[in-house]
Amino acid sequence: MAFCSFMSQSAGVKKASLFKPRSKERGETLSRTFMTLQQLIQRIKQKKELQDINDDFVKEQLLAYFKQNPRHRAILTAKLNPKSALTIKIIKSIRAQLRRVYGLFRSSDDPALDLSLIKKVAASASSERKKIIAAILQSHASTKERVSFYTELYRKIIAVTGKPTVILDLGCGLNPLSIPWMNLKRVAYHAYDLHEQEVIFLNSFFQVMKINGRAVVADISRSSVVSALPKADLCFVFKMTDIFDQGRGHKASEMVIRSVPARFVVVSFPTVTMSGKKMNFPRRKWIELLSRRLGYSYSVLEFSNEIFYVITKG
């Protein structure tokens, strides 16, 4: 089975302070040091909730920032003090962007990603395994509520799609841990996320559970990445459209739905607000209009706090 690897796995990045003089012998001072792109990336990642994010993704955000603010590129070529107002402004801006798409959902010392949990799964009898996995799923906001309806959800999805043999899971989070609820004997599962520690955790899970799966660090907001994914029957895009679109229409989500090489795409949305209130109108008209415009059909599955659109493309 061919798996894509779009981004380097953990780059073995030094966590040491960036702005230490390179050589004490040469007596370089902080203010005389040029800042490389890599140093800037590491400085941005010096926040607990951002430290497991993939370097290449941070680099892309920086390059996009410099494209919009070409004069700020000087930070890489001028002998700026690393504590200059410009440096701080850039770092703050990129961190805010990263938190919007990523950091909100993350903690680098996430107890759910402790590999000893996988060892616990490995050491337990198969009858006990689902209970331990359910506890891990329950520890995460996105998957927590689903534990009570995963069986029904997958049964209803498969009633529309038929039994899939290849599944993609974009921005997977911990959702791949729910594979035992799918009741599928033979399935190849490809999961993608930016979170490096999570990807390592999921790969250990696949190994222990003897699942034909692989998690990969990839930025699935890029069309070149999405269209090059392995051909699949079914693709999960759970709670991801706000991250793709960031309040700027729905072109980014449309790109993902159109480009992904899967006939069936399941897109989900929360139906409770951030403050926990049930939404009065949980349906997302835009995805219904988009599907009609593109000649796709869809079925709607509503659960207590999440709505799923099972889209059939062509």
Ligand X SMILES: C[S@@+](CC[C@H](N)C(=O)[O-])C[C@H]1O[C@@H](n2cnc3c(N)ncnc32)[C@H](O)[C@@H]1O
Rounded CA-CA distance 154/164 in Å is 11
Token pair 């659109």: residue:
309
Q: Looking at the chain, which runs of residues are DSSP E strands?
A: 166-170, 188-193, 213-217, 232-238, 262-270, 297-302, 306-312
Rank residues 40 and 196 by Cβ distance to ligand X and give the closer one.
Answer: 196
> Helix crossing, 115-123 with 126-138: angle to 10°?
160
Burial of residue 71 (number of CB atoms within 10 Å: 0-12, 13-18, 19+): exposed
What are 301's strand-pairing partners? Answer: 308
Closest approach, Cβ 69 to ligand X, in A, equals 21
Nearer to ligand X by Cβ, of 105 and 149: the residue is 105
- CA nearest neighbour of 307 among 137, 100, 149: 149
CA atoms within 13 A on the CB side of 3: 17
Residue 290 is inside which H or E element, if any? Answer: helix 285-293
Give me the least distance between CB of 271 and ligand X, in Å please: 13
**Contact residues for 166 (Cβ-Cβ < 8 A; gap 6+):** 187, 188, 190, 230, 231, 232, 233, 234
Q: Which is nearer to ligand X, 102 or 296 (CB)?
A: 102
In angstroms, what is the minimal distance from the CB of 102 to ligand X? 5
* Closest to ligand X by CB, 23 or 275: 275
Nearer to ligand X, 33 or 221 (CB): 221
- Using CB under 6 A, list all residues that contact ligand X: 101-102, 105, 142-143, 171-173, 175, 192-195, 219-221, 238-240, 243
Q: How far is the CB of 29 from ligand X (least distance, A)?
A: 38
- As measured in angstroms, the least distance from the Cβ of 131 to ligand X is 19
Shortest Å, Cβ 163 to ligand X? 22
Q: Report, in Å, the least distance between residue 115 CB and ligand X.
A: 18
Nearer to ligand X, 19 or 206 (CB): 206
Burial class (CB in 10 A: 0-12, 13-18, 19+), 224: exposed
Q: Which residue is nearest to ligand X (CB)?
A: 173
Q: Report how far residue 253's alpha carbon sits from residue 236's, in angstroms, rounded to the nearest whole number.
A: 13
Sheet containing strand 297-302, edge to edge, reads: 213-217, 188-193, 166-170, 232-238, 262-270, 306-312, 297-302
CB 175 within 8 A of CB 165: no
**146 vs 313 by CB, closer to ligand X:** 146
Helices 285-293 and 251-259: crossing angle in degrees, nearest 10, is 50
CB of 24 to ligand X, least distance (A): 39
Closer residue to ligand X (CB): 19 or 244: 244
